[in-house]
Amino acid sequence: MLNQLRVAILGAGKIAELGHLPGYVQAGAAIVAVCDTDASALQRLGDKYQIDRRHTDWRQMLAMGGFDAVSICTPPSLHADMAVASAQHGYHVLVEKPMALTLNACDRMIEAARSANKLLMVSHNQRFAARHVIAKRILDSGRLGRPYVARATFAHGGPENWSPRQTWYFDAGPATQGVMADLGSHKIDLLRWLLGQEVTEVSAFGATFEKATKADDTAVLSLRFSGGTLASIYVSWAQRPRMTDDLAIQCDRGTLLVPTDASEPVRVLEPGQGGTVAESVYAFDAAGEPGWLAAVAAFVDAVTNHKQSPVSGEDGRATMAAVLAAYDAFANRRVVQLMLPSRELGGS
């Protein structure tokens, strides 16, 4: 077991500010360095968290060392190079989603971590949200039986409301692909984990309704999973007036309903006596949402106690394969089939 984990942060944007930095503090890790090309963000977060080492060159920061792990909170186009270099320098890696923008880049990251014998975790934080942990427990219990159909939604007014300075979200080139990569990757990974199944077929429709980009700002995906479950996913950067982030799974013995936030409980609907509906409710703590802090805590625990990655590089790659298949399906107006990975699903 390691002593206090020492961490360096690559990227001082919104996800670092709201997720990684407070997550490491809460988990008892030491944040020893932070890097960003934005001097004002670097100073603000460096001062807030009393981080002495502040870098504008990430390669220089990695070479200087003095830490055990790196959190990569930069645009996805930078993830692969940063993760590979971090592993080669001997650091464990927590990388934001989407893992990378090509499967080749995902493979490079996985191989670099394997060769260095370092842990690689993809921060698919929705797995760690309190409401989804409850849903996973219910599904795994077998109480509702076989899952037939799932419906997931993640829609809000756009990333410019979340992080105004991160304009890369709207680049329809190498930086990102659009809402299917941004929000769709969340829901694809969540369904893979909840169902314990892999995506085998994808079709998709996308559109750009209002954002100044050639990338999609709204999309609807249809998926078939390896266990036979069918699913639909709706994602959007153009929703009014408020965010929706919910889930419903219809099983052969009942229905699981997961709400957007803690204003409502997780609900299970089952057949009651005499044609009635029996409802069970499961309240959850809003402090456990949206899972950012718990994801960081799981990474710290895995590294310090030599556990398997809570969300492996292979998991991140499988989710990205489904995202890329959705773009292929959308662009070429076809159903895309995916090969099943030759391994069991990772994660906890």
Nearest CA among 258, 192, 206, 259 for reference residue 237: 206
* Number of Cβ atoms within 10 Å of the Cβ of 339: 8
Residue 348 lies in a domain: no
How does residue 46 score in pLDDT terms, banded at 50, 70 and 90?
very high
Residue 1 lies in a domain: no
Looking at the predicted structure, is the pLDDT value of residue 288 above 50?
yes
pLDDT at 342: 64
Clarify whether residues 81 and 138 are in a common domain.
no
Clarify whether residues 177 and 69 are in a common domain.
no
Residue 55 lies in a domain: yes
Clarify whether residues 218 and 240 are in a common domain.
yes
Mean pLDDT of the chain: 93
> What is the domain-level CATH number for residue 323?
3.30.360.10
Residue 33 lies in a domain: yes
Span 258-272, average pLDDT? 94
Phi (first) and psi of residue 173, to 5 degrees: -115, -130
How does residue 289 score in pLDDT terms, banded at 50, 70 and 90?
confident
Clarify whether residues 50 and 192 are in a common domain.
no
Nearest CA among 204, 185, 181, 226 for reference residue 339: 226
* Tokens standing for residue 79: 């993830």
How does residue 175 score in pLDDT terms, banded at 50, 70 and 90?
very low
Residues spanned by the domain of 87: 6-124+292-311
Return the minimum-mean-pLDDT range out of 154-168, 244-258, 284-298, 301-315.
154-168
Contact 221, 336 (CB under 8 A): no
For 143-163, the pLDDT digits (tens) are: 999 999 999 999 999 987 776
Residue 345 lies in a domain: no
Nearest CA among 299, 257, 317, 260 for reference residue 281: 257
Residue 90 lies in a domain: yes
Clarify whether residues 184 and 255 are in a common domain.
yes
Clarify whether residues 81 and 144 are in a common domain.
no
Clarify whether residues 157 and 103 are in a common domain.
no
Residue 230 lies in a domain: yes
